[in-house]
Amino acid sequence: MLTKKAKYGLKALVYLSRLPEGELAFINDIAVASNIPRRFLDAILGELRNEGYLESRKGKDGGYRLACPASEIHIGHVIRVLDGPLAPLACASRTQYQRCDDCDDEASCEVRHMMIEVRQAIADVLDSRSLEAMRDATGNDFFTDLPI
């Protein structure tokens, strides 16, 4: 399940992607407009800045803006930065694999095989969608192929 941290991070990125190019946004403006607790948002934006998604400037004329075009920011990468692996189980993770303590034979573990398939489906969707596509999704066919 997506954590609030990742959800808030995505909401903040969408907000910033709507700014005119080069314009900065104050953290308080982002928090109020996106209904995100300011202290929590401060930590999230710091992580996104450290990963190169955001630029920031301090002072009276400071704030945050995207460090690269929204079309170059992929949702799966952002979620991995904020939440960690996409896999529902550690044994299905590509980046942080851990063997399950209760599994005698991974090769025949039906749960693991299903979770690998789930992880791949999640990654296929999230890694193929950019922040730009997410931002522009309202009112188009972005979600028509997704089961609800």
Same domain, 43 and 95: no
For the chain, the maximum distance between any two Cα atoms, rounded to a whole number of angstroms, is: 60
d(C-alpha 72, C-alpha 70), whole Å: 5
pLDDT score, position 60 = 82
| Last-in-domain residue among 16, 39, 66 | 66
> What does the pLDDT average to over 43-54?
97
d(C-alpha 14, C-alpha 34), whole Å: 9
Domain assignment present for 140 = no
Domain assignment present for 122 = yes
Domain assignment present for 144 = no
Angle subtended by helix axes 75-83 and 4-17, to nearest 10: 140
Domain assignment present for 135 = no
Q: Specify the number of domains making up the chain.
A: 2
Same domain, 118 and 98: yes
Domain assignment present for 139 = no
Provide φ and ψ at 27, rounded to 5°: -60, -40
Contact between 49 and 86 (Cβ < 8 Å): no
Q: Per mean pLDDT, which range of 50-54, 61-65, 78-82 is the poorest?
A: 61-65
Please report which helix (H) or strand (E) contains residue 83, including its range.
Answer: helix 75-83
Note down the domain range covering 9: 4-66
Q: Using one digit for the tens of pLDDT, what is the confidence trace for 96-113?
A: 888 888 888 888 899 999
